[in-house]
Amino acid sequence: MNAVPLFPRVALIGFGLIGGSIARGTRAQGLAGEIVATARSAATRARVKELGIVDRVVESNAEAVKDADLVILSIPVGACGPVAQEIAPYLKPGAIVSDVGSVKGAVVRDMAPHLPDNVHFIPAHPVAGTENSGPDSGFAELFTNRWCILTPPEGADPAAVERLGEFWSTLGANVEVMKPDHHDLVLAVTSHLPHLIAYTIVSTADELEDVTRSEVLKFSAGGFRDFTRIAASDPTMWRDVFLNNKDAVLEMLGEFQEDLSKLTRAIRRGDGDALFDHFTRTRAIRRGILDIGQDEAKADFGRTHAGLKKKQ
């Protein structure tokens, strides 16, 4: 525990997977003197109260940010602009205002114009998550060994950037600073394109005429089921990601389409050497990810296998 918490008061707006994980981690690490939380839906606010993992649950965003030294919006990207406008008059001078959105250019564009000059606006994106959402889905360890990207605007106060970085590193994350546009390009390939592809293939499989849904489900262990996890992610969050990172996503889609055409041609022509070469190169990427600890080396993601029933 910190003898003196990093922030006397932290306000959390939004209490899904990310907001709830920040709350739990902040409390576990003693990062805040007081954690105040709010959420748009009354049901979520009631559940957060029940969970008892924050100090106070309040009814409005304005109330939440009052006297807060750190304000974090953990809400869909498309809601960030309106909420910034709403809280602006109530922010404490000197407060740090941040978010967790998967897109940064649009968040800067939508939030910055509303915020007063006497607060520090430092957007952030913790690259971590699961397919679950809602107030019960979070956990304090979500961010350990994951990266949190900060995209401070030019001229941001280095001390404020440092303080927000310390907050995230105490939650277990590695901190990196990036320009918003570059963030959006990098995440378009490591996160947005994979989600788009997964969302696509899952519906393709579900709408076939000659293969039933029951068959798709039964034989999904052939690879398909891996895609269904990602395609079970929160629809509102992902709608907003694609609406707000359009250009970078379309650019990555173009690259993907070119590569898919190459592989399709190799299949059509029966070019086994081209296929073999391609499949050998991709193996190295997996090894790279395991080497830097961004996934576990356990086979099949460490999925457990039921024991064999002994034959009588």
128-157 residues in contact with a second copy (CB under 8 A) are: 128-132, 137, 139-142, 144-147, 149
Which residue is associated with the tokens 């564009």? 109
- Binding string, 91-110, against a second copy, x = CB under 8 A? -----------x--------
C-alpha distances (whole Å) from 311 to each of 304, 308 are: 21, 9
At position 66, the amino acid (one-letter code) is K
| Minimum distance from residue 35 beta carbon to a second copy (Å) | 16
DSSP 223-280: THHHHHHHTTS-HHHHHHHHHHSHHHHHHHHHHHHHHHHHHHHHHHHT-HHHHHHHHH
Site for a second copy in 282-311 (CB under 8 A): 282-283, 285-289, 292, 294-296, 299-311
Site for a second copy in 17-36 (CB under 8 A): 25, 28-31
* Binding segment (CB under 8 A) for a second copy, from list 45-53, 116-124, 155-163, 213-221: 213-221
Q: Does 280 bind a second copy (CB under 8 A)?
A: yes
Pairing of strands 147-150, 124-127: antiparallel
- Binding string, 34-73, against a second copy, x = CB under 8 A? ----------------------------------------
209 secondary structure, DSSP code: S
Backbone angles phi, psi at 73, to 5 degrees: -90, 115
| Minimum distance from residue 88 beta carbon to a second copy (Å) | 25
| Minimum distance from residue 164 beta carbon to a second copy (Å) | 15
Closer by beta carbon to a second copy, 117 or else 269: 269
Chain length of the chain: 312
The answer to whether the CB of 143 falls within 8 A of the CB of 173 is: yes
Contacting residue, 43, 46, 177, 275, with a second copy by CB under 8 A: 275
Residue 311: Cβ within 10 Å count: 4
Q: Does 265 bind a second copy (CB under 8 A)?
A: no
Closer by beta carbon to a second copy, 118 or else 212: 212
| Minimum distance from residue 100 beta carbon to a second copy (Å) | 13
Q: How far apart are CA 124 and CA 142, in angstroms?
A: 16
**Total site size for a second copy, rule CB under 8 A:** 128
Which residue is associated with the tokens 């922010």? 91
| Minimum distance from residue 90 beta carbon to a second copy (Å) | 29
* Binding segment (CB under 8 A) for a second copy, from list 59-67, 84-92, 108-116, 241-249: 241-249
Q: How far apart are CA 139 and CA 260, in angstroms?
A: 38
| Minimum distance from residue 12 beta carbon to a second copy (Å) | 18
Nearest residue to 175 (alpha-carbon basis) of 185, 190, 162, 192: 162
Q: Tokens standing for 206?
A: 């579900």
Q: Does 177 bind a second copy (CB under 8 A)?
A: no
